[in-house]
Amino acid sequence: MEKVTVSKWDQAEIIEIKEDVTAFLEEALEENNLEFLFKTIGYIARSKGMAQIARELNLNREGLYTALSPQGNPSFATIVRVLDNLGYQLSIRQKIPAIAECPNVTSTLTFDHIE
């Protein structure tokens, strides 16, 4: 039987364009899971160069790797600084409740097509 060589897949290797980064970040935020968010920011930072980001932010590279790992617990300031370095900022919007949660809504929503 022929031996097959398998290499470890690294999600950071598929992040190539700004749209990829935006999509990954939006998905991570929608999951409402901090571990997933930190891991996603870590993938993105590695795709851009973790050592360079750490240098630009005057942080320890190993510490940044650890902070953005699934076991990490980065400070809010670290997250904001890394996102800023990557060209992003956090924003907040009010969560839209489901129609069933709105006691005063009795009809369904419709959308008009505007040309």
- State the Cα–Cα distance between residues 39 and 107, nearest whole angstrom: 41
Structure confidence by residue, pLDDT tens digits, 6-30: 556 456 555 666 777 788 888 888 8
Rounded Cα–Cα distance for residues 9 and 19 (Å): 21
* Sole residue written with tokens 């891991």: 39
One CATH from 1.10.150, 1.10.3470, 1.10.260, 3.30.1490 for 12-99 = 1.10.260
52-82 pLDDT, tens digit each = 999 999 999 999 989 988 788 899 999 999 9
Residue 33: HSE in the Cβ half-sphere, 13 Å Cα cutoff: 9
pTM above 0.85, yes or no: no
Domain ranges of the chain: 12-99
